[in-house]
Structure 1
Amino acid sequence: MKLAALQMQAVAGDVAANLARIEKAAREAATAGANLLITPELALTGYGAGEAIRKLAEPAAGEQADRLAAISDATGIGIVAGFAERDGDAVYNSALYVDGLGARTVYRKSHLYGPYERSLFVPESPKSQVINHRGTMVGLLICYDVEFPENVRRLALAGAQVVAVPTALPASDHDELIARKMIPVRAFENQIFVAYVNHFGNDALFSYAGLSVVAAPDGTLLAEAGKSGEALVITDIDTGGYDESRATNSYMADLRS
């Protein structure tokens, strides 16, 4: 599988502009041979849109999801994008997977970060959301979820080979520790790939760290973006290419419950 990660600067509150940017990236990624594009947390609404997020929230069968599916169908590439999902009176911080106009899969964030998210969203119970993307098993998490090792281990035990993590990591004195050290450890301790895809720049409420990465089962970084600037990073995911690492670092085979 060839994976593309879009580190983007979403326009807070402007779904049309954000969908247009995702469409451009999907076309570029498909031209480069990628078959899965991952975008940041709340990429459709922008993470820092505040209370407007609740007004912009739509069901997984809504117009925003339809547009994302149409982009996937037109470009031939699967897409994982963060969006605000409405289900009745509840709003979830969710990630939507589409692959053409076929089935859609939604993952709802289970670990909300800070008072901002808790004021806007309802947390979902932790679960193992794994999809079969053209023969590769892809698990879904969102941002803060990946900082709890139990969540990644749960996906690995459920058969995930790759974990896609749309994120909105803020700029801080420990942003590089999370992106450049914690994410490779999550990949290494579960012997899987982890794609951690962030925003960059600023909106009215937050500054973002950038630092998107794709980590391999042996803990190496296959692809990475800088702290500033948009980046569409594309890398090959060879799920059968790390047998030696799995044999040497046999955490999953030796795990006792």
Structure 2
Amino acid sequence: MSSITIGLLQAGFDGLPLENAGKAVDMVRKGFREADLIVLPEYSMLNPFKIGDPVKVYGYAETPVTSKYLSELSRLAEELGAFILAHFIEKTDTPPLTYSTSVLITDKGEAIPVYSKTHLFDAYGFRESSFFKPGKGPGRVVSVKGVKIGFTICYDLRFPELYRLYALSGSDLILVQAGWVKGPYKEEALDKLASVRAHENTVYIALADHVGEAFVGRSGVFNPWGLRELDLGWRETYMEHEVDASLVAEARKTLPVLEQAKAKWEIKQAG
């Protein structure tokens, strides 16, 4: 079975897009060893809550084809010979709303949008829907070095059906780009939810979180048994970790929940 080395960047990004790109490039370049795929956190292009005004956020949004922000990361991907998963504020045709999009940059520098955030963070007093349009469901499942990968963003972690769909689509690894806001029991929730999503789907979860005054950090990797294998703690850092798809196959043989799942339940809300 295949394996892949994941690089996770955990940092705070309070500037404008090119400034934030420069910080990400510097941190990754200094810490890089042998990662095949590097994951940047949510809001690493721009933090909409820091800007505060949806119209101003839309003014900084770009399209993938012409993006100066993605161009900076594309150069780094080519330099390192690694894939990079960027978080991207994408223009729509319905201003001032944008898409919260995961863009996979290949080791050749090609930028490919793979997912737009489905579940917007309208909770705990926040209204992410003031800035973003929701995506339309699961994104692509992409193979990197023979490991099949699904993509999610932050608040999606609270919605298990999305992760089950990725697992049933063959994902060995599901990536989470997060800007997990601090609050009572929020750090504990992040840790437990990532662990449960991994175990209930016998899949790896790799999570890159924003950190700083407003965000909890605690980025890391969770194996198919739900055990945390890597913890980036509460500081700005970059770390790498190997994900072995043979452990996914072993877990699914021992615990065949995906084979046993009733995949076509019809769920209707009461009332």
TM-score (normalised: structure 2) = 0.86
Give yes or no for the alignment of 1:7 onto 2:10: yes
Q: Does 1:134 align with 2:145?
A: yes
1:196-250 deviation per Cα after TM superposition (whole angstroms, max 9, x unaligned) = 2111112xxxx11111121110111110121x31121211100113444322221
**1:189 pairs with one of 188, 200, 225:** 200
Q: Does 1:111 align with 2:119?
A: yes
What secondary structure sits across from 1:101 in the alignment?
coil
Asked if 1:83 corresponds to 2:88, the answer is yes
Instruction: Give, in whole Å, the separation in 2 of the partners of 1:218 and 1:11.
Output: 35
> Amino acid of the residue matched to residue 146 of structure 2?
G
Q: From 101, 124, 130, give the equivalent of 2:109.
A: 101
In structure 1, what is the equivalent of residue 254 of structure 2? 248
Structure 2 Cα separation of the partners of residues 242 and 193 of structure 1: 7
Provide structure 2 residue ranges, at least 5 long, that are not aligned to the other structure: 264-271
Query: Per-residue deviation at 1:18?
Result: 1.2
Q: Does 1:38 align with 2:39?
A: yes
Residue identity over aligned pairs, in percent, reads 26
Give runs of aligned pairs for residues 1-257 of structure 1, distance below 5 A: 1-12=4-15, 14-30=16-32, 32-47=33-48, 48-51=50-53, 52-61=56-65, 62-89=67-94, 90-99=97-106, 100-102=108-110, 104-114=112-122, 115-202=126-213, 207-226=214-233, 228-257=234-263
Kindly provide the CA deviation profile for residues 131-172 of structure 1, in whole angstroms up to 9, marking residues without a partner as x.
122321111110011210001111111111111110110111
Give 1:103 shift.
5.2
1:29 CA drift (Å): 4.7
Partner AA of 1:33 in structure 2: E
What secondary structure sits across from 1:201 in the alignment? Answer: coil
For residues 112 and 38 of structure 1, what CA distance do their matches in structure 2 show?
Answer: 20
- When the two chains are superposed, the root-mean-square deviation of aligned CA atoms in Å is 1.7
Q: Is the Cα contact below 8 Å between 1:143 and 1:169 reproduced in 2?
A: yes
Counterpart secondary structure, 2:212: strand
Q: 1:242 to 1:118 in 2, by over 3 A?
A: closer
> Number of aligned pairs?
250
TM-score by length of 1: 0.91
* Structure 1: distance between partners of 2:203 and 2:26: 29
3-state SS of paired residue (2:246): coil
| Counterpart residue identity of residue 183, structure 1 | A
Name which one, 1 or 2, has greater alpha-carbon Rg: 2
Using a 3 Å threshold, how does the CA distance of structure 1 residues 27 and 85 change in structure 2: closer, same or farther? same
- After superposition, what is the alpha-carbon deviation per residue over 1:5-61, rounded to whole angstroms, capped at 9, x for unaligned? 11111124x21221112212332454x111111111121113533223221110111
- Give me the whole-angstrom Cα distance separating, in 1, the residues matched to 2:248 and 2:138: 26
Change (3 A) 1:103 1:20: closer
